């Protein structure tokens, strides 16, 4: 027997409708790409999103077409998102940090018909425009006064095409399972693959993200998503914030410590989210200038592991609660979040930080388990570590156009490619990417854990650990560090620092200093490039073993 409740498709347009109706005057503040701070409201975004939908219809865009954006976090970008999705089209967020060859591959593979682009990225598209036969128009996110000279064919001015409309548009009322968003994984091996979100998966993900033990945003919150909308939907924040009427502060093109710190202060931001490298810059700025973070009460750190020293500084020095989050593009993207659980009220400082350094507990709608190489499930004892598998209604079941083939096992589990342990309280800890784990004498060494300890050294800016071939042990860890400006760090100093912090047999066999650690388009350490660079590196311990 079916329930007798209303059939109300979970479409993302219902989120912006709700925000406009109930929190119409709540602000969205943007540091515009042109420079000044600009203010708008949910009501205004709602109206202009409908105008975007009208303008796109005039350009011939229909339900199911793909429309791309290459843009920073701004209110205009949000209007375009809701306009594209409300029209029933699919919003494809392009990551401008990808290589040109990857970008034209992605744009053609997705069959993007129109691209909305920020002034900053016009040259990026100009460089590849001749390889994009399917793109009918480029809409530049600016007004007439700032329109650049451009060689892009059919370049339109955003403000002009939006303001030419009256907003009298009804959202397309389609199936909740219809596609509405598209984001490609950065593809460290092979071509990037498209993750195709549905209206339903995005709505469910925002509800789950807003539960109290997850982001738990409320209308009194002021949220600054530093994480870009082109990186896994800004972790879902541009859906989750309007769903509860939280004020949004959009950093535009400026994500340096000073610019972020200024917005945190002037807009009285209460909660913010970004990858560790951004927080590193912020904390350096805050410390150097003796700033405080008086309004901020929560910071979400994810995308890569948050170093312990960072968690400690936020929590202990600035009184800001850290939520360590883990997820991936394929998961919409949030999987776990590290808020404290009942019964943890009286933890000591050290115990609390230990919990906060783990990647957190599964949010509602995410199921997870860890398995060994034979697929056997491992216990949640905080020790056993294995392949992290997930499933849920906001987890991908395939990539666009079947790339990568079958990605789920017969029980519907998706292999995240991460290696993790889970403790008895359900807190998961990533110990490595499966391909980065160091296999020493049949046992696994976590490169991430050594890296996190190494960056705690006051003279170290960044650290990476890779496995180097070893005649006796198969692989042994090599620690690669980038010292802070003007500092030098010796191998002895580094190893002494690590003593007692990691297991003895995890001690790196060597330490080298380099100028810069290469990063992927989403800010992760490019282990592949490091492994290639140190391909023929000989560890000092290798000779003795031979
Ligand atoms: P890509 O960077 O490849 O496009 P994602 O941004 O989706 O992909 O990254 C997902 C991966 O990032 C995860 O599988 C995991 O390896 C890593 N990751 C995300 N959050 C964390 C975290 N808090 N700690 C450690 N690793 C993380």
Q: Is 150 a catalytic residue?
A: no
Q: Which domains does the chain have, with CATH numbers?
A: 8-28+40-207 (3.40.50.12780), 255-434 (3.40.50.12780), 436-545 (3.30.300.30)
- Quickly list DSSP for 305-364: PPPHHHHHIIIIIT-PEEEEEEE-GGGSSEEEE----TT-TT--HHHHHHHHHS-BEEPT
Cβ-Cβ contacts under 8 Å for 212 (sequence gap 6 or more) = none
Positions in the chain short of pLDDT 70: 187-189, 544-546
- Alpha-carbon distance of 245 to 221, in angstroms, equals 8
- Alpha-carbon distance of 312 to 352, in angstroms, equals 10
Q: Which one is catalytic: 62, 397, 401, 439? A: 439
Cβ-Cβ contacts under 8 Å for 440 (sequence gap 6 or more) = 467, 470, 473, 474, 475, 476, 477, 505
Sign (positive or negative) of CA dihedral 419, 531, 329, 179? negative
Q: Is 439 a catalytic residue?
A: yes
- Alpha-carbon distance of 228 to 232, in angstroms, equals 8
Pocket test for ligand 1, best of 192, 301, 326 (most atoms within 8 A of CB): 326
**Closest approach atom of ligand 1 to CA 524:** 2
Structure tokens at 203: 């709505």
- Alpha-carbon distance of 20 to 83, in angstroms, equals 14
Cα 284 to middle of ligand 1, angstroms: 24
Q: Whose CA is nearest to atom 13 of ligand 1?
A: 328
Cα 326 to middle of ligand 1, angstroms: 7
- Alpha-carbon distance of 510 to 18, in angstroms, equals 57
Neighbouring-strand partners of residue 430: 420
List of E strands, 399-499? 414-422, 428-433, 438-440, 443-445, 460-470, 474-483
Cα 276 to middle of ligand 1, angstroms: 12
How far is C-alpha 66 from the geometric centre of its chain's CA atoms? 22
**Closest approach atom of ligand 1 to CA 329:** 7
| Per-residue confidence (pLDDT) for residue 444, from 0 to 100 | 85
- Alpha-carbon distance of 89 to 376, in angstroms, equals 42
pLDDT tens by residue, 89-110:
999 999 998 888 889 999 999 9
Q: Which one is catalytic: 330, 449, 451, 475? A: 330
Pocket test for ligand 1, best of 197, 304, 465 (most atoms within 8 A of CB): 304
CA angle in degrees (0–180, nearest 5) for 234-237-243: 150
- Alpha-carbon distance of 479 to 501, in angstroms, equals 15
Q: Please give the model's pTM, rounded to 2 decimal places.
A: 0.91
Residues with CB under 6 A from ligand 1: 185-186, 232, 302-305, 324-329, 333, 359, 416-418, 430, 433, 520, 522, 524
Q: Is 473 a catalytic residue?
A: no
Neighbouring-strand partners of residue 464: 480
| Per-residue confidence (pLDDT) for residue 524, from 0 to 100 | 85
**Closest approach atom of ligand 1 to CA 359:** 23
Q: Which one is catalytic: 14, 163, 444, 459? A: 444
Cα 358 to middle of ligand 1, angstroms: 14
- Alpha-carbon distance of 24 to 197, in angstroms, equals 27
**Closest approach atom of ligand 1 to CA 326:** 20
| Per-residue confidence (pLDDT) for residue 521, from 0 to 100 | 79
Kindly report the backbone phi and psi dihedral angles of residue 33, in degrees, each rounded to the nearest multiple of 5, phi listed first.
-65, -30
H or E segment at 512?
strand 510-513
Task: Determine how β-strand 194-198 pairs with β-strand 222-225.
Answer: unpaired
Cα 390 to middle of ligand 1, angstroms: 14
Of 242, 227, 229, 167, whose CA–CA distance to 13 is shortest?
242
**Closest approach atom of ligand 1 to CA 328:** 7
Q: Is 330 a catalytic residue?
A: yes
Q: Whose CA is nearest to atom 27 of ligand 1?
A: 304
Neighbouring-strand partners of residue 40: 28
Cis before 333 (ω within 30): yes
CA angle in degrees (0–180, nearest 5) for 247-249-252: 155
Task: Determine how β-strand 66-70 pairs with β-strand 112-117.
Answer: parallel
Pocket test for ligand 1, best of 97, 524, 525 (most atoms within 8 A of CB): 524
């Amino acid at each position: 027997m079916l329930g007798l409740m209303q059939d109300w498709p979970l479409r993302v347009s219902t989120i912006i409708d709700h925000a406009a109706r109930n929190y119409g005057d709540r602000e969205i503040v943007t540091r515009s790409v042109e420079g000044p701070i600009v203010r708008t409201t949910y009501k205004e975004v709602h109206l202009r999103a409908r105008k975007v939908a009208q303008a796109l219809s005039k350009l011939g865009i229909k339900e199911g077409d793909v429309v791309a954006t290459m843009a920073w976090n701004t209110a205009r970008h949000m209007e375009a998102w809701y306009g594209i999705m409300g029209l029933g089209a699919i919003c494809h967020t392009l990551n401008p940090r990808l290589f040109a060859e990857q970008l034209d591959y992605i744009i053609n593979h997705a069959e993007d018909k129109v691209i909305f682009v920020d002034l900053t990225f016009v040259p990026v598209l100009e460089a590849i425009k001749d390889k994009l036969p399917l793109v009918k128009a480029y809409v530049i996110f600016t007004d007439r006064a700032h329109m650049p000279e451009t060689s892009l064919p059919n370049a339109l001015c955003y403000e002009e095409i939006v303001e030419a409309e009256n907003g009298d548009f009804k959202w397309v009322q389609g199936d909740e399972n219809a596609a509405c968003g598209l984001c490609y994984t950065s593809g460290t091996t092979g071509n990037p693959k498209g993750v195709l979100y549905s209206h339903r998966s995005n709505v469910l993900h925002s509800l789950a993200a807003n539960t109290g033990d997850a982001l738990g945003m409320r209308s009194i919150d002021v949220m600054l998503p530093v994480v870009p909308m082109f990186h896994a939907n800004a972790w879902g924040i541009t859906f989750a914030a309007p769903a509860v009427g939280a004020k949004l502060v959009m950093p535009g093109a400026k994500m340096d410590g000073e610019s972020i710190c200024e917005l945190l202060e002037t807009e009285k931001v209460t909660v913010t989210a970004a990858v560790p490298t951004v927080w590193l810059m912020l904390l350096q700025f805050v410390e150097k200038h003796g700033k405080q973070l008086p309004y901020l009460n929560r910071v979400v750190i994810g995308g890569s592991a948050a170093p312990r020293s960072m968690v400690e500084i936020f929590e202990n020095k600035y009184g800001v609660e850290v939520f360590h989050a883990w997820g991936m593009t394929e998961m919409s993207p949030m999987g776990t979040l590290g808020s404290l659980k009942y019964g943890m009220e009286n933890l000591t400082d050290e115990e609390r930080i230990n919990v906060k350094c783990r990647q957190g507990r599964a949010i509602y709608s995410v199921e997870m388990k860890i398995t060994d190489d034979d697929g056997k499930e491992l216990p949640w004892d905080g020790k056993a570590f294995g392949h992290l598998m997930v499933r849920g209604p906001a987890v991908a079941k395939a990539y666009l156009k079947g790339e990568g083939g079958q990605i789920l096992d017969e029980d519907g589990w998706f292999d995240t490619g991460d290696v993790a342990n889970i403790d008895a309280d359900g807190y998961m800890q990533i110990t490595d990417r499966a391909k980065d784990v160091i296999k020493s004498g049949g046992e696994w060494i976590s490169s991430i854990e050594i890296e996190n300890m190494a960056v705690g050294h006051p003279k170290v800016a960044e650290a990476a650990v890779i496995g180097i071939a070893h005649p006796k042990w198969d692989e042994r860890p090599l620690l690669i560090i980038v010292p802070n400006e003007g500092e030098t760090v010796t191998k002895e100093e580094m190893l002494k620092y690590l003593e007692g912090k990691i297991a003895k047999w995890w001690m790196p066999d060597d330490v080298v200093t380099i100028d810069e650690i290469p990063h992927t388009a989403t800010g992760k350490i490019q282990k592949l490039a490091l492994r290639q660079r140190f391909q023929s590196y000989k560890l000092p311990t290798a000779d003795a073993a031979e």
